[in-house]
Each structure stands twice: as structure tokens, then as C-alpha cells.
Structure 1
Amino acid sequence: YEEGQEVYVISTYSPTVYVLDFKTNALIDSINSGFVQRDAENAKLQLKALSKALGFEVNDDLSVIRLGEEPKKQRGKKSKAEKPSEVISAETQPTIVITEKTNVITSEDLLVPETNEPKVDPEYQNKLNTLLQRV
């Protein structure tokens, strides 16, 4: 990552992709964990695949939100037109403090409802194993 480079961070708690162009510890951790892409389309595809592997699907209406200020337009370059993203000032964002780097073992909030079924769908398990091998 280079300062000022625009990257797309995948949110694991909502169907959202955040656009960043400034360096933070949380961004570096996201890069190291594999939750960052260089373009919005690949970030959306990764978020859809991850959600599907976890047992739920997100629709195509994913939010892409810019954190920080909109970059200044450069003359002479043409780019693909994308939906304008919501701009949220870095000052209004909650501060994220990372106190320790560890793997998440448990979560307080359930991502999917609990079931009493001990059976695991073999097709689901195969897809999950395939995704885990890719990581």
C-alpha cells in the first residue's frame, strides 16, 4: 500500500465496501487479513463470495462508502462512471483502537441464527473448504 492509493475495504458486519486513500492501523490489518481489494468490483465480488460461504447471500445493491475527503479530479483522465459514493469525513468516524493482534475465535453477535440441527450440508462444507484453501 502506498499513501494516497485508493483501496476498497470489505466490511464483515454489513454489506458495505469502504473506499480509503489514507493509511491507518486498521487498514493495514485489513490488508494483512485479506479484506482489501484494489477496485470496487473485486471488493463486491469478494464480499458476495464470503457471505455466500457463510450461508447467506447479499444482493447487488451493496453500499460503497468513501471515508475521508473525495480526491481531486485530474484532467485528461477518463474513468468508468460509478455511482457516486457517500462521503464521510474521517473526523466523524469512530476511532478504532486495536489493542492486540489475534485471530478471532469467538464472536459475541451471531451472524446467522442458531439452529438445533447438528447436520452440516456436505455441499456447503465443500464450498467452505474450497474458500478456506484459497485463503
Structure 2
Amino acid sequence: MTEARDRRGRLTRGVLLVVVGVALTGCVPARPTSGSAVEVASAFYDAVGRQDGAAACDLLAPVTVETLEGDADEACADAVLHGDVGDTLAARTGSTSGSASVAGRQAQVVLTGDVVFLTVSGTTWRITAAGCDPRPDRPYDCALEGA
């Protein structure tokens, strides 16, 4: 009788482990796609074009917000629309269609009038740099970027 009970207990524990494993597998967040990187970059420029600094800042990576606020000495929602950064980004509004290259948790979106860099944050993309100009044999020069 004890042997049968031990076998039933092991079977119950085994089934429970399988059920928990399957449930946890369903909880793994999906990695955002390259198409969604383009959507985030386009939404950022749409927000800048509407003068909605809060919406634009919601699409930035925390380190980018922190750097922008520190450099501009004002809140992100104001800094992203005014000063050197705001002027550069405003000149590039309308940059809405483009393509993305993804490498791991990083993406580069090439829009009609800009290059935007993004990183994965949770289950979405967040912008780490925008207003970027290529420089031969050197890193991009970006008006807005995290440290």
C-alpha cells in the first residue's frame, strides 16, 4: 500500500511540475518586432509634430529622459519640444515611414528624415537616440541620446 501511495505522490508531483512549467512558458514576454520599432519611432515624431511633449517622452528610454532633462535643465516634455533638441526634432517631423534593423535587444530605424535608435524595455521598444546624422567612419551624431 505504501509503495502505491509513493508512486501516486511522485506522479502527482510530476504532473504538477509539468503544469507549472507550461504555465510559466506562457508568461515569457514576447520580444517586440522590427515593425513595432518603426511604429514607435513614427509615433515619437507624430507626438513631436503635435507638440505633445508628454507623449513623446513616454516613448523614450529612462536613461534618455534623464540625460535630456539633465542637459536641458527642464522637464522632458518641455525639453523635447524646445531648445536645440526641440529645433532639431521639429525639423524632422514627418519622418514617419521607414525600415528597421534589429540586433538582439537593440534596433536602428531609418526614417525618411532621420535615424532613430531603440532598445527593448519590457515588451516594447523605447527610444535611446533620435535626430541622428551619420558621420563617415565615426558614430552617429544625435541631437537626443541617453548617456
Please give the range of the TM-score, normalised by the shorter of the 2 chains.
under 0.3
Structure (1/2) with the larger helix percentage: 2
Structure (1/2) with the larger strand percentage: 2
Relative to the length of structure 2, the TM-score reads: 0.21
